[in-house]
Structure 1
Amino acid sequence: MAKLALLAVLASLLGAVSGEFSIYAGYGFPPPNPSVPYPLPPACPPLSPAPGLKVGHYADKDKCPGAEEIVREVVEKATAGEKAGLIRLFFHDCFVEGCDGSVLLSGTDTERTAFPNLSLRGFELIEEAKAKLEKHCPGIVSCADIVAFAGRDASYSLSYGRINYRVPAGRYDGKVSRANDTFQNLPPPFGDLALTTAMFAAKGLNQNEMVVLSGAHSIGRSACSSFPDRLPPAANSSTAMEPKLAGQLTATCSAGSSVNVPQDAVTPDRLDNQYYKNVVSRDVLFNSDASLTTSSQTEDLVEFYAGNLPFLGGKFLGPLAWYHDFEDAMVKMGYIGVKTSAEGEIRKTCASINKP
């Protein structure tokens, strides 16, 4: 933990000195060139869903009845910021090595030490749930499943019950966690539409699902070091940040790149369709969000989820559809790279693999 804290401080200091280091070099990308698209990372083959997951996996008497309730109780007492962190933790886990709890492993050069993961939150909550489950039914519930349950429960809470889905479970915990694997797997905030789409496709998620899951940026906060490419806004750009927001953020971020700001200033602690309204009005922090308006297909979907399409009751149907589509996309993401018993284990503690 001391090393993680030191790395976070160093990243903050370096970000204050050089905006390029804090975001582009941190992800292994060169600084942007307006005339050249961001290069695609090394090819990431699609990870096929593994069989064996099922809803109610732990409900059987020989498993761990009440496991999901134990996780839910831990999540319910968390702060809004911690709940937002749990949703992000699920995403960052599944996109690197699959949904196997690899992001939870601590140590030198693990995923947790990689630049894109230094701001992750929720590790203590996962460990708290794991400790309670080990007392209730030792050696049964995987850390990977706890992360999946916590992501669902956090979504339920922050959406005021509008997002509520059943989580297929039965995952095993992975034994591999490498810092370098994060860079070619996690979509960066400065990516254009082609890059973000390709990185989601590498995980078996299509462009529509990418737009749906981007809606999670309706919650949480981000450091100013995450969007230096957006300040000041580019002149004559259809995706440039809205000038009023850009001016406010320029003033706020002048205090340092480690300053945190809401990703959605309108409903910062509510998981809702406000994100899509923000994309339309260009009130978004990241280029990956703004780029959703650069294609007619993604722009139409953004307008639909924002409730801006007049036909078919679009004002109400769009937002309702997003909640449903978000549920489906979260379930599908939870199948990425699932480990079998031959490949994984059930960890005793989530921060370390079991001793032989």
Structure 2
Amino acid sequence: MAHTSCVLLLLTVSFLLQKNIDVNGLQDNYYSESCPTAESKIQEAVNTELDKNLKLAAGIIRMQFHDCFVEGCDASVLLDGNNTEKHAPVNEHLTGYEVIDAAKAAVEAVCPGVVSCADIIAYAARDSTLKLNGTGWVVQGGRKDGTVSCADTAEAELPPPTFAVTQLIDSFSKKGLSKRQMVILSGSHTVGVGHCDKFIERLYNFSATNSTDPSLNATYAEQLKQECPQNTFNTTIEIFMDTITPGEFDSNYYKGLTQQKGLFTSDQSLFEDRRTRRIVKSLINERRFDSQFGQAMRALAAVEVKTQGEIRSDCRKVNS
């Protein structure tokens, strides 16, 4: 693939420093022998950073998705450089890089050259969910870090907030994820924020017959218009994705959809479309959502995993 906007770095990898892994590249308790304290060190570092700024927790969970959908789960989203993934417009508001840096520093201090940045993202996403009072899951390890990061690829692969269900199903299917897993993973929008530019057309320029998206709760739409005036170019205004319990990782995101309070088209369409409406209703059950979210995250974290690659010493750049 030749793109002028890609960063492609060729390097020699020292396989002697890397652990043999099984066929699918992932295992539970992957670091139990090579770095027994890896998970606890990562969680401690994540919690320390989130104690400073809890808003970053939602960013870390989102980062898992944004990483895995582009080049697979290989930490390519972390690479610095001109026109890398993190500089793509779709990643403009992605946050939490400093949390990953802190976690990487923590494990490098005890087990240098052992824990990949891609695995750290997966552990940190689980730990961020726990920090928001969500339910955890067993995270597999064994991912290798990639050496390619391209803004154009991120723009092409990540589904935008304007997607409806048909487009979402197709996008997730290409990554080996089911319709149900797509709806479950969308539940991560129970925390975090959206920005006016991502949904403003729903408020003022929806269609020739409806200036405002009729699938939006009318009162909610008026509230959003107060926050996001017409023709605003302010991309820093933050709107909670979940209007009920925005700081808690729970199932109220789905309840909000039944009230027509999905912020993005990609959110509300999950309830409006008959193919996914029943799934949305079923996930309002807190226990069901809790148990199934972790399973869906494990599936997401296994997308296009690299068994050949490197273990970066600095998550922001490839090894020299």
With the length of structure 2 as denominator, give the TM-score of the two structures.
0.87
How far apart in 2 are the matches of 1:204 and 1:288? Answer: 19
How far apart in 2 are the matches of 1:226 and 1:55? Answer: 37
Residues 1:175 and 2:147 are matched in the alignment: yes
Q: Which residue of 1 aligns with 2:109?
A: 135
Q: Residue deviations 1:15-60, cap 9 Å, x none?
A: xxxxxxxxxxxxxxxxxxxxxxxxxxxxxxxxxx961311111111
1:52 pairs, out of 8, 25, 28, with 25
Residues 1:351 and 2:311 are matched in the alignment: no
Does structure 2 conserve the Cα–Cα contact (< 8 Å) formed by 1:100 and 1:339?
Answer: yes
Residues 1:322 and 2:297 are matched in the alignment: no
Does structure 2 conserve the Cα–Cα contact (< 8 Å) formed by 1:103 and 1:112?
Answer: yes
Look up the equivalent residue of 1:278 and give its one-letter code: G
Q: Return 5+ residue gaps in structure 2 as ranges.
A: 1-21
- RMSD between aligned alpha carbons? 1.8
Q: Which residue of 2 aligns with 1:268?
A: 246
How far apart in 2 are the matches of 1:200 and 1:242? Answer: 27
- Structure 1 segment 75-114 matched on structure 2, within 5 A: 75-77=46-48, 78=50, 79-114=53-88
Q: Which sits farther off after the overlay, 237-246 or 264-273?
A: 237-246
Q: Residue deviations 1:46-87, cap 9 Å, x none?
A: xxx961311111111xx1111001110122230331111100
Q: Which residue of 2 aligns with 1:291?
A: 269
Q: Which residue of 2 aligns with 1:303?
A: 281
How far apart in 1 are the matches of 2:29 and 2:131? Answer: 20
How far apart in 1 are the matches of 2:254 and 2:31? Answer: 36
How far apart in 1 are the matches of 2:156 and 2:169? Answer: 13
Residues 1:241 and 2:216 are matched in the alignment: yes
Q: Residue deviations 1:238-278, cap 9 Å, x none?
A: 86211111111111112634311111122111111110011
Residues 1:150 and 2:121 are matched in the alignment: no
Q: Name the SS for the 1:177 alignment partner.
A: strand
Q: Which sits farther off after the overlay, 98-107 or 162-171?
A: 162-171
Q: Which residue of 1 aligns with 2:181?
A: 209
- Structure 1 segment 12-91 matched on structure 2, within 5 A: 51-60=24-33, 63-77=34-48, 78=50, 79-91=53-65
Q: Residue deviations 1:131-157, cap 9 Å, x none?
A: 121111110000000000000111122
Q: Name the SS for the 1:351 alignment partner.
A: coil
How far apart in 2 are the matches of 1:325 and 1:339? Answer: 25
How far apart in 1 are the matches of 2:219 and 2:248? Answer: 23
Q: Return 5+ residue gaps in structure 1 as ranges.
A: 1-48, 307-317
Give the total of aligned pairs.
290
Does structure 2 conserve the Cα–Cα contact (< 8 Å) formed by 1:56 and 1:169?
Answer: yes
Change (3 A) 1:114 1:346: same
Q: Residue deviations 1:192-229, cap 9 Å, x none?
A: 11111110111000101101000011100111111122
